[in-house]
A and B are shown apart, each in its own frame.
Chain A
Amino acid sequence: MNETNKKEETTTHKIGIYLWIWGLLFVLSFFSYMVDWYQFQGLLRWSLILIFMFLKAGLIMAFFMHLFWERYALVNVLLWPMTAIACFIFLMVAEFKYTLFTRLLYFFVGG
């Protein structure tokens, strides 16, 4: 692509939106720290950790990395490969359960 005949018109966003997202990220980080501070356990702990994590990740990607304003072609190129990671997680969960099962079987019950 020829760099010289390109006329870029870029628009910037109001400072308020960045400050809002920044503040929200602080609040969400504080909340996720509180999960550990109050020593929530079990399903409550895991779901809270995941909720705060995905909210933070979403805010960073959407507004700090401008994905919210980006063209759909780029957004789709970036987000669809994540399904491969989800599949990999799914496979490895099955795998660690099997490994743990065989270890317990051979260590404690015997082969």
Chain B
Amino acid sequence: MIRLIDLLVKAIAYSSCIGIGAASITLIYNATRTFNFAHASLVAWGMYVVFALTYLAGHTPYHHLLPAALFCGLIGGAIYLTVNRRLLKAKAKDITLMMSTLGVDLILFGFLNVFSDYLLRFHRLPAKYFILETRDTVLNIGPLSIRLVGVVAPAILVAVVILLHSFLTKTKLGISMRAAIENPELLSLSGANPELTYAIAWLIGGALAGLSGALLTLVVSGYTAAGMTMIATFFAGAIVGGLYSIYGALLGGLLVGLGEYLGVSFIASLAGGWVYAYRPALPLLVMAVTLLIQPAGLAALWGARR
């Protein structure tokens, strides 16, 4: 029973993180047609910012969620200004946009490893491989003890949904962002600046990726290639969500994460422990099947069209 609750809490925390990350991919894809491969390293940078600050500045990892999100948001903005903006202006093809983020990802990955070496050499931190799970607070509710992340991660997911929703429907900038996604030329004719909305999309997208990585430090172990390992799961979340709806992505990420965690445990309870090794294959399979059977994803369920 206690094991089951532990598993459930972890699954909820993990899938919330995937949901937040999937929303980042969807947001950037919709605003700028760019399928963001650099997401992998943004997530990993989020993890490392939390790790470094937790060790160097103290406090709990939760104190450093915001700096991590901010830092990755700035990287996102920088990616837009240096690479993405020029390509959008040149009306580059989707594949070219995608390849450019792959290049950015490799650069960010290289620098992340340099940063990790620096932490290891000059601060003697275990930067090659770290686990912050043990620094999590344990809540005692009656007979149950639940890790704080199991509450915080879904709470942040809900907060992200509410904030994004009010931003996109209530603020002028958010509304013009939706317009920029629908029809950039018409928007610029009406006097608004689509470039600003693209930049904001990258800022928010980067921040969400960083936030997702920052929270993930409390669920999974951290290493520089962690983002690369998990990137397929994030993509799966975004694609299962339909790739055109941010709410779909949040839900899709949640489902893929839960499916990966609980699905494998369930199959393992029937077929035996060897199933656990195939865990990384599950989100890939879910994604491939979704794409081949229902490419519009979950968003099609409530009739959301781009």
Physical interaction between A and B: no
Q: List residues of chain B with CB under 8 Å of any chain A CB.
A: none
